Amino acid sequence: MRQFIEGLPKVELHLHIEGTLEPELMFELAKRNNIEIPFASPDEVHKAYQFNNLQSFLDIYYQGANVLISEQDFFDLTWAYLQKCHQDNVMHTEIFFDPQTHTARGISFDTVVNGIHSALIKAHEDLGITSHLIMCFLRHLDEESAIETLQYALTHKDKIIAVGLDSSESGHPPEKFQRVFQLALSEGFLTVAHAGEEGPSSNIQDAMTLLGVSRIDHGVRCVDDPKLIETLQVLQMPLTVCPLSNVKLKVFDSMEEHNIVELLHQGLCVTINSDDPAYFGGYMTDNFHQIALTHPVESKELAQFTRNAIKASFASESRKQDLLRHLEGYLVQGIH
Ligand code: HPA
Ligand code: ZN
């Protein structure tokens, strides 16, 4: 099964680039930029990655991002992730970035976007990986800061396809960002939002109604509302689910209790993603594998996660056809 999963063509739709900062690179960048970090070795960083909930992770994740200063740093971070994509047969990826984490430290929006974007271009040229960038607003910050961030994005419209919403879900519901999302939509950006990760299932419905989202990030709390499940099924609203993240942040007590396979069987458009792989212990192959180890799934069901992700992606129709052809080609090889 592991061999089948490794070779399976994949599409990633829920990945925070700041969450791909491996401890080894964190140390290298801290040295390069003369920044003090409260750890003696990469091993000590790994040991610190024990989380009780979303907030305990976010505290350490924002601290880690402090080592990112120059365009080269953002390039190196992104390039390292894209090499993991290549290893895991991720053929298309849609990447979140959090500009406010960096602009608040005096790093310019241009530095962040240009560094990430040059790595994406190189990955297309050298590895054939296609991608899109999604700019997230930090929901614990206010509307004014989100609007200011959207203004920066207008000068990089050619590089950013959508806006999203991440950070602390509790106490920061979708309606707080209704106006900025309407503005983003009117400027031609697509929208997505984290909802129903730690927050209530009503956030999922509100993200659809108030923020006009094309996908829900996480969304696993939808099971609390049977009517919502029906809506998600009828609309085929994609959910970008992140198994390892959900267990690390205690959204589920164990991988066995994760509901992604149940949602797949109910006909929802669910996908598998890695969220913040450097912090949660695994990239795409590992996330697929963890589900396969703990749930009775057949290879055709694992392939369905990729089929759903292709359908849910913001790739062009021709790229979607191309990705589907790769997937079907892999499945008929019958080596598994
Ligand atoms: N949820 C909310 N905010 C985040 C996450 C997440 O899973 N990862 C990075 N920022
Ligand atoms: Zn996320």
> What value does the mean pLDDT take over residues 130-151?
98
- Would you place residue 79 in the very low, low, confident or very high pLDDT band (cuts 50, 70, 90)? very high
274-285: average pLDDT: 98
With 0-12 / 13-18 / 19 or more C-beta atoms within 10 angstroms meaning exposed / middle / buried, residue 242 is buried
- Mean pLDDT, to the nearest integer, of 327-334? 92
What would the pLDDT profile of 156-210 be if each residue is shown by its tens digit?
A: 999 999 999 999 999 999 999 999 999 999 999 999 999 999 999 999 999 999 9
Share of the chain above pLDDT 70, in %: 99
Q: What is the dihedral of CA 245, 250, 255, 257, to 10 degrees?
A: -130
The pLDDT-based confidence of 278 (bands split at 50, 70, 90) is very high
- Give the DSSP per-residue string, 152-175: HHHTTTTT--EEEEES--TT--GG
What per-residue confidence (pLDDT) applies to 143? Answer: 98
Question: If DSSP codes are grouped into helix, strand and coil, which group holds residue 10?
Answer: strand
Q: Tell me how far the alpha carbon of residue 192 lies from the centroid of ligand 1, in angstroms.
A: 13
Averaged confidence pLDDT in the chain: 97
* Class of the CATH domain delimited by 2-331: alpha beta
Distance CA 101, CA 70 (A): 14
Per-residue pLDDT, 66: 97
Residues in a beta bridge with 135: 97, 163
Tell me the chain's radius of gyration from C-alpha atoms. 19
With contact defined as beta carbons under 8 Å apart, do 137 and 149 qualify?
yes
Q: Is residue 92 helix, strand or coil?
A: strand
Banded pLDDT at 115 (limits 50, 70, 90): very high
- What's the longest Cα–Cα distance across the chain? 54
- Segments making up each domain of the chain, as ranges: 2-331
Which of 15, 81, 194, 245 is the pocket-test mutation for ligand 1 (most atoms within 8 Å of CB)?
A: 194
- CA 167 to ligand 1: nearest atom: 3
Mean pLDDT of all residues in 69-86: 98
Q: What residues are designated binding site for substrate? A: 276
**pLDDT at residue number 335:** 53
Q: What tens digit of pLDDT does each residue of 21-72 get?
A: 999 999 999 999 999 999 999 999 999 899 999 999 999 999 999 999 999 9
Would the CB of 94 count as within 6 Å of ligand 1? no
Q: Is the CB of 197 under 6 A from ligand 1?
A: yes
What average pLDDT does this structure show over 81-93? 98
- Kindly tell me if the per-residue pLDDT of 292 is higher than 90: yes
Ligand nearest to the CA of 198: 1
Looking from the CA of residue 18, the nearest atom of ligand 1 is 9
Pocket test of ligand 1: the residue of 167, 169, 170, 220 to mutate, having most ligand atoms within 8 Å of its CB, is: 167
Q: What is the pLDDT of residue 164?
A: 98
Amino acid at 139: R
Ligand index nearest the alpha carbon of residue 57: 1
Distance 204 CA to ligand 1 centre (A): 15
Question: 94 near 238, Cβ under 8 Å?
Answer: no
For the record, the structure tokens of 37 come out as: 């970090």
What are the catalytic residues? Answer: 197
User: Which pLDDT score is estimated for 178?
Assistant: 98
pTM, whole model, 2 decimals? 0.98
Instruction: Please tell me what DSSP assigns to residue 220.
Output: G
pLDDT at 336 over 70: no
The confidence score (pLDDT) of residue 316 equals: 98
Spatial distance between the Cα atoms of 207 and 215, rounded to a whole number of angstroms? 9
| Distance (Å, whole) CA 322 – CA 336 | 22
